[in-house]
Structure 1
Amino acid sequence: MAYQALYRVWRPQKFEDVVGQVHITRTLQNAMVQQKVAHAYLFSGPRGTGKTSAAKIFAKAINCKQAPVKEPCGECEACRGIQDGSVSDIIEIDAASNNGVDDIREIRDKVKYAPSAVDYKVYIIDEVHMLSQGAFNALLKTLEEPPKHVIFILATTEPHKIPLTIISRCQRFDFKRITHQVIVERIKHILDEENIQYDEHALIHVALTAEGGMRDALSLLDQAIAYSDDLHINMDDVLAVTGSISQERLLSMVESLNSGEAKQALNGLEESMQEGKDPNRFVFDFIHFLRDLYMYTSEDNMEDVLVRAIPDEQFKTIASQLSNHWLEQAIDILNQTQQDMKWTNSPKVLLEIALLNIQELQSKQVSNNQSSVSTELVQQIAQLEKELNKLKEQGVQAQPQEPAAQKRKAPKSRSNTYKVPYEKVRHTLSEATKDDLRNVKSNWAAFMDGLKKTSPPARAKLVDSTPRASSSKSLILSFKYEIHCALVLENQEMIENALAEYIGKRLTIIPIPDTEWQAIREDFLNQQQTSEDAEEQESTQEEDPFISEARKLVGDELLEIKE
């Protein structure tokens, strides 16, 4: 017998085989059991998501000899006849090639005849949006009031092209794209049944390339099986049949762009184009690969959510060199490039420009830091000149010596991009209690887990933070990386509101770099110690009791004390 493609061999025969569409299969099953089957259905959704398969299973289930049932038995004459196509009462029509008025009139003339072999005559019209306007008008009356023994199932990938008068007469079910995890589990089951070995990352890449379509995934799987020589599907086989870019090349390009070596990155792009890679496929792979890098660097134990990358030693080494801010900007540039490529005849040129823009991100960051340093120095010099001129005009007067505790100044910030709020930090430290800090720390893990679901970008900015001190009104957070101090202020209100749900009160977050925390803490402790010493000295210097009595008798004006 001739070879059959996997998507034909493993076409769903029961509703439980239609993966990823539980919201539809459950509704249809309940309608059959409750005997509330409608006369017309519209199945819409992307290609390869199970629309036609669900329609055929539905036709079998309502005509099964065991009806009403949730699943067709597959053993009775009706089920077997519908499966092999020998039952003439199940009519499948391709509207792409039968889209005229005469074709629909033929259906309208035959629909009045009762079914010959089963209980219901079912018309499955695939790609119904291809019908002409006249054909839709011819179908309208029949679709609205068909005979009791007739059921219409319309399937389409473009429901917006169907007249509203048709849609309003049908129960509409929207099939959604199947998730990567569901596709991977399904093709794992198929390969296990076919006794074919595989690498799991290769299957993940097949699911990613399929873009939510199970039929596309099985077609790619068929190609990979045919390409491999030893019936073992690995990543190289999948990359070959999908035209994707290897991880080694993508890692090399990321490393080159991050280090400012644009020529090497452009050479990598040129080699990919010479090998016949599609520019659209290239930018698609690059975006998802940077996404994996971003996920991996944002949190620990994120290997399970990677869809394009394999977390080997080289991947981990390069990931440790990248910042989340750089990855965010690179993904934004590539996303914009992907949009622009739809309207150009020279996609390679746009890709080259995108790579050059990504390469400049690092140098822009350095130049911005340098410019901020230069601006700050100019301002400081101008201020010093004003003070010097003022001193020349007024003359320099000797100032009384201040106590050592008053001479202390705030430690100079090492940050050029973020100003540490020293007064707020000192005020918080003066009011901080161990109970307040203990309350924050005991709820911090649950707060971070909750933030992971509600706002992953905000959580990524808090990953390297540590609660240091807390009062009843404010919280000091120290950050491993200085840039996160400024970034966290962008989401400050949302973070404070989310934290309040876990600790029971609203705290104002005060971010500071880790490098500044130790200096501020030591300075505060020294001030506290100086104040305590002064109070102790005053308490020890009590006046002599004899002098106190003399002062009461004669007063301070007449009293003269001699040693």
Structure 2
Amino acid sequence: MSYQALYRVWRPQRFEDVAGQEAVTRTLRNALSHGNTSHAYLFSGPRGTGKTSAAKIFAKAMNCPNAVDGEPCNECDLCQSITQGKLGDIIEIDAASNNGVDEIRDIREKANYAPTEAEYKVYIIDEVHMLSMGAFNALLKTLEEPPMNVVFILATTEPHKIPLTIISRTQRFDFRRISPQDIIKRMTYILNEKQVEFDPDALMSIAKAAEGGMRDALSILDQVISFSDGRVTLDDTLRITGSITQELMIDYLTAALNHDTEKGLGLLHQMMQEGKDANRLVEDVILFSRDILIYQKTEDDTLLKMSKVDDSFKELIAGAHPEKIYDVIRIMNQTQLEMRTSTHAEVYLEVATVRLAQATPQAATVSAPQATVQKDTSDSQEIRSLKNKLNQMQKAIEQMQKTSSDNNGAAAPKRQPTRKKSGQTAFKVNTHQVFGILEHATRGDLAKLKDVWPDLINALSTSQKAIMNTSKPVAASPNGLVVTFDYDILCERAASDTFLIDAVGDYLEKVIGHRADMATVPSAKWLEVRQAYIDQMKSGSQEGNTDEQEKEEVTQESEEMEAVVSEAVNLFGKENVTIND
């Protein structure tokens, strides 16, 4: 097979050829020129950004006898052998297919042998995140204390899957997505070397479709060259990538801004008949709308990702209200989510086009003075509504206070039971367990528990955290704690979840030194349960120690505080009240 793909033929052979990674290449060159190389490196970043190419260049520069300022000469026998993949001391391993313990043990054994031709033996492990946990453990000791003249270079697109013990033993370099300007510069150089004519707009379209990957850009360029008749044109590029021209995009958005539904649907059908990709179309509309907003605020064309500034683009910007563009982005983003689960993408695009043409933001349909008056009127109405609600709350509180004073000395009125859905039963509190905890409860134990409670919730699993998010510790003893929940269903789930109770006990044992059994009580019933305990204590023997007197004082103080909080919530609303202990 005589023909090779562009990304293979034009793979960078020097650090200066690696596009868009100046920070990484400069650091590696300085380390080589000053002799400060490490024994292990981790190259992470998106696909096609130069990780493996940089690793091979680094291996050449370490072993090249004629290296200058960290750059290999690419002319000596060692450089030529490494470039052709023939040097046995430079070992490339694909971890996707060699991810077992046996393969890593084999590497560990062979690493003990000295290099045969080069000065350093270099292992390049690509897609290292695919290794099994056993393979990582087998590699761990070798990475920490490798044999003399052995260097490991790990490359991955998913660094979050690599154990921290591996990352901490390497020097990490993050490769970023390559900017469209750098991709265009590299493609221009390649096309000039191949003596292929090209349209600059076509290269811009390829760079945008590549999404920051040089390999993807060169693969698309390879397709366009094969499709065209010796010249890279914009029309051929758009056919290959499935994108649309800027003129068509402007016409489509103009129809939406002018509420011309018929024209918008006609343009959409035209694009679909030309074979444009539906997902690509949605992405292009979102990026183009983003460019409109950015250019309206900055007028800096270097920040644009999708657009070219010309007269038609400026004319569109002049008539595009920001609120309308926000609607375009929001509707298209929702359409993109809906299209992922459907095989009828064109239907969703038609619906989105109709919504775009019919959407009329309030700010875009009135002049600036009218909008100000409208906003002031809306604010005044909102203020009046809040005042009315406040007056109603005050009257309700006065009525409640009057009823309370009239019934002074009489039995306290029973609370109206909360209406529940059919088939739903109230949670039954384990009063025996709660009373046992309250009998030995102290302020000190409760204070310790409140300090660690937020950290305890964060340490739980996702499902357990969802149950405990509304929980609040209200009493604690050395061996137990009482926790309230806003909803009966959460209270019941927490009481019946043995794994959750064990997790809470394990965390408390680790943090405060002892386990504590958790008793759950709905927030609405906590005052009632606590009062029942107080009544039981009063009806029993009157002999009590200092701890019992202290608990009674704390209980009375808590009751007074609950009354104040309850009145504040009724007056100002729960969302406007902050309780500081």
Give the counterpart of 2:327 among 321, 326, 329: 329
The 3 A distance-change label for structure 1 pair 294 and 199 is: farther
The amino acid that maps onto 1:49 is: T
SS in 2 for 1:362: coil
d(CA) in 1 for partners of 2:235, 2:275: 16
SS in 1 for 2:262: helix
The amino acid that maps onto 2:277 is: D
d(CA) in 2 for partners of 1:222, 1:183: 14
Shift of 1:3: 1.3
Shift of 1:328: 3.5
In structure 2, the residue matched to 1:109 is: 109
Contact (CA 8 Å) 2:30, 2:69: kept in 1 or not?
no
In structure 1, the residue matched to 2:518 is: none
Give CA deviations for 1:204-232 in whole Å, capped at 9, x if unaligned: 11111111111111111111111111x22
1:441-456 to structure 2, matched below 5 A, reads: none
1:14-29 to structure 2, matched below 5 A, reads: 14-29=14-29
Contact (CA 8 Å) 2:124, 2:154: kept in 1 or not?
yes
In structure 2, the residue matched to 1:496 is: none
d(CA) in 2 for partners of 1:234, 1:294: 29
Please give the root-mean-square deviation of Cα atoms over the aligned residues, in Å. Answer: 2.7
d(CA) in 1 for partners of 2:340, 2:222: 29
In structure 1, the residue matched to 2:287 is: 288
Give CA deviations for 1:287-342 in whole Å, capped at 9, x if unaligned: 22333444555566x55655434455554544443334422432343234435544
d(CA) in 2 for partners of 1:41, 1:298: 42
In structure 2, the residue matched to 1:245 is: 244
The amino acid that maps onto 2:262 is: K
In structure 1, the residue matched to 2:167 is: 167
d(CA) in 1 for partners of 2:315, 2:30: 53
d(CA) in 1 for partners of 2:311, 2:24: 44
In structure 2, the residue matched to 1:383 is: none
In structure 1, stretches of 5+ residues that fail to align are 380-563
Give CA deviations for 1:12-60 in whole Å, capped at 9, x if unaligned: 0000001111111111111112212111111000000000000000000
Shift of 1:119: 0.6
Contact (CA 8 Å) 1:298, 1:324: kept in 2 or not?
no
Contact (CA 8 Å) 1:260, 1:363: kept in 2 or not?
no
Bigger drift between 51-60 and 104-113 goes to: 104-113
Identity of aligned residues (%): 54
Say yes or no: does 1:234 pair with 2:238. no
Contact (CA 8 Å) 1:61, 1:69: kept in 2 or not?
no
In structure 1, the residue matched to 2:562 is: none
SS in 2 for 1:66: coil
Shift of 1:248: 3.6
What is the TM-score when the length of structure 2 is the normalising length? 0.60
d(CA) in 2 for partners of 1:262, 1:221: 36
Bigger drift between 155-164 and 288-297 goes to: 288-297
Contact (CA 8 Å) 2:67, 2:73: kept in 1 or not?
no
In structure 1, the residue matched to 2:84 is: 84
The 3 A distance-change label for structure 1 pair 345 and 368 is: farther
In structure 1, the residue matched to 2:124 is: 124
Contact (CA 8 Å) 2:324, 2:361: kept in 1 or not?
no
d(CA) in 2 for partners of 1:237, 1:205: 11
Bigger drift between 122-131 and 246-255 goes to: 246-255
Shift of 1:269: 2.2
Say yes or no: does 1:262 pair with 2:254. no
Give CA deviations for 1:461-485 in whole Å, capped at 9, x if unaligned: xxxxxxxxxxxxxxxxxxxxxxxxx
Shift of 1:88: 0.5
The 3 A distance-change label for structure 1 pair 186 and 366 is: closer
In structure 2, the residue matched to 1:352 is: 350
Structure whose alpha-carbon radius of gyration is higher = 1
d(CA) in 2 for partners of 1:206, 1:42: 30
d(CA) in 2 for partners of 1:356, 1:365: 20
1:64-213 to structure 2, matched below 5 A, reads: 64-66=64-66, 69-213=69-213
The amino acid that maps onto 1:50 is: G
SS in 1 for 2:360: helix
Contact (CA 8 Å) 2:324, 2:364: kept in 1 or not?
no
d(CA) in 2 for partners of 1:58, 1:3: 27
The 3 A distance-change label for structure 1 pair 256 and 75 is: same
Contact (CA 8 Å) 2:323, 2:361: kept in 1 or not?
no
Shift of 1:11: 0.6
Shift of 1:350: 3.7
Contact (CA 8 Å) 1:121, 1:149: kept in 2 or not?
yes
d(CA) in 2 for partners of 1:97, 1:264: 53
Contact (CA 8 Å) 1:197, 1:232: kept in 2 or not?
yes
SS in 1 for 2:98: coil
Task: Count matched residues.
Answer: 374
d(CA) in 2 for partners of 1:327, 1:123: 51
In structure 1, the residue matched to 2:278 is: 279
Shift of 1:198: 1.3
SS in 2 for 1:173: strand
Contact (CA 8 Å) 1:89, 1:117: kept in 2 or not?
yes
d(CA) in 1 for partners of 2:74, 2:195: 25
Give CA deviations for 1:182-202 in whole Å, capped at 9, x if unaligned: 111111111111111111111
